[in-house]
Structure 1
């Protein structure tokens, strides 16, 4: 899939996944996002970058952070933004996603930021799109959430420096259902993270061994936390799982919830990330989420800069 994202000159045509994305492409996006951070929180200096370009946020699933930050990113770059709500559109009358995309293309929309509940749905739309139309995957099924992976890497880099080879990174929780975890794993491997640990109950880890290739996998959170530089907590995705994968929320928190006492097993300067929305008291306590080692709100802020960098790379002349 990564080859379909690049043109003959190696430039991005779409952003569908971080899997297989060249290291230099990933680094360029991170560098540009860092440079764009001052513009992400206000100002009009870059409003000419995408002036006259129509962009649609085509969301078939609910979203707060991702949709809002893409909208802000596009606004900062001067794009005309059309927000699409599947629940009030013709998709509720049976129109296919591909027909929805073609109709919007016919109105002059050039870029689409798409979230969909089905794996591979965004790549399928990229195949159906007209030449020159660009697509960004804002999360599809359990497969990928590339801009979340990028903003997580940017947050890690800001906290720990550019040399990922020195880092021990732990991902905790519901990896089985998490598109965020998959994008983070793709990015961490590409950036050469020194050690990647994954911890969770057996029922919430993927059966496909390729997903966890190169990772140290365990089920004891206390042991997994020892000496790590970063802890990436995942939301327990109850809406995507069958009943019975966890005995109870109380037992999950007992075994896999990140508390301040548990966090002391990590390196003293370890940072904590979470893609949100958080289930407070389930995967993370208030004391950790709001504590000095948390970088969760920094992640949210970085989302605007990262999405500006992606939209600029794909749509700017």
Structure 2
């Protein structure tokens, strides 16, 4: 299966952002991609007050745009994420969807792990804006490939990906990873999630300086189940296009059956036993 990651630089101009993303998605489809992934907040990205004002329902402008484009091109599309304001409950969510080649929304994932940090250049309190999602999601692509969904800060929580990998062949992580953590953490985390779950890992991040106080690190990449980086974007907007070899995945999972070797175990005691302390 051929996949593509469309690395973009979004700001507060939704119309321009969607136009730029659309050009990359069309180019990806022209190059034979069956699945295209966009970054977190690809359609509109700004400070909390801008994001709050841009909140939309599940069937709002972002999903409508994605549905029309996926149906037009006949592709599976994961259009990053957007600020969802549900019709049936209070609060906002950082929401990612999977849209099938028929334009229907096949799955919705609400980001579980929210980014609260005081790192210089990445000061954020997502919990001031969003509610936590509480449901892991695996969806099925048109060709039957099973896709585990996540968003950005989720990448630091391996237990989510292990739960997904029990069912999924491919793991996807749209992101707007800050520049300051991208170089040291992003490639390592993506490769680790691929290795420990013996799954293809697709990480698609925003890149470059935005029109507010934030710089994203880019380096969108595809990792294989052995942890090898199959393709990586440059430090500018553009496409990563790559073929996934599922025979390779079956070989890795068959020769090194880490998923089959999982065992249940009791958690550590709240306080170590005396004899263990001095062992």
Query: Normalized per residue, which structure has more strand?
Result: 2
Higher relative CO (Cα under 8 Å, sequence separation at least 6) belongs to: 1
Whether the TM-score (by the shorter chain) exceeds 0.5 is no
Which TM-score bucket, shorter chain as reference?
Answer: 0.3 to 0.5
Query: Normalized per residue, which structure has more helix?
Result: 1
